[in-house]
Amino acid sequence: MSTDALDELDFGILHLLQEDARNTSPVDMEELLPVSDTTIRNRIEKLEERGVIKGYVPLIDYEAAGFPLRVKLVCTAPVRERSALAGEVLQLSHVVDVEEMLSARENIRVQVVTNKSEELNEVTSQLDALGLTIERESILRETHSRPFNHFGENMVSNE
């Protein structure tokens, strides 16, 4: 990844993509930013190449999709194995999200999505077999999130 700093235009593009990447094209952005859609396309391509933009994923309502059981497992992994174990955990069936924390304890957080308690039990058994200690389990009711608000909002024309 390049170490070149992002400029205000990059931040403006990131701001607009965060708000609604699916329905905001470079042509749409051209109306809100002081450059052409070609420049915006080139900038997006460079942001992807540099690893600033890692991908585009849909936000899924798992309950509406028939998977009402969403559980957050807070685990402890040996610090030296934390990163490798996080990658292994992400490959387990029904695991949709793994957060690797910079701490000695409770350093792996795993989100499991399923519609059967037996499948949840299988995941917890697999975590145990990998050497993780499950510290806490919580049923997720709802996840609330918003875009990071320091990306170029001032670059975007509100006209």
Burial of 133 (0-12, 13-18, 19+ CB in 10 A): middle
Say which CATH architecture domain 69-139 belongs to. Answer: 2-Layer Sandwich (3.30)
Question: What's 86-100 look like in SS3?
Answer: HHHHHCCCCEEEEEE
Instruction: Check residue 66 and give its pLDDT.
Output: 94
Helices assigned H by DSSP within 50-135: 82-90, 117-130
Instruction: Give the tokens for residue 57.
Output: 């994923």
Instruction: Check residue 148 and give its pLDDT.
Output: 81
Domain 8-57 has CATH 2.60.40.1180: no
Question: Are both 8-57 and 69-139 of the same fold?
Answer: no
Instruction: Check residue 144 and give its pLDDT.
Output: 86
Residues of 42-66 as b/e, b for ≥16 C-beta within 10 angstroms? ebbeebeeeeebeeeeeeeebeeee
Burial of 6 (0-12, 13-18, 19+ CB in 10 A): middle
Instruction: Please state the pTM of the whole predicted model.
Output: 0.80
- Per-residue pLDDT tens digits of the chain, which is 159 residues long: 455 799 999 999 999 999 889 999 999 999 999 999 999 999 999 999 999 999 998 889 999 999 999 999 999 999 999 999 999 999 999 999 999 999 999 999 999 999 999 999 999 999 999 999 999 999 999 888 887 877 767 778 765
Type of residue numbered 110: V
Instruction: Check residue 151 and give its pLDDT.
Output: 78
Q: Fill in the DSSP letter of residue 132.
A: P
Q: Fill in the DSSP letter of residue 4.
A: P
- What residue ranges do the domains of the chain occupy? 8-57, 69-139
CB atoms within 10 A of CB 112: 25
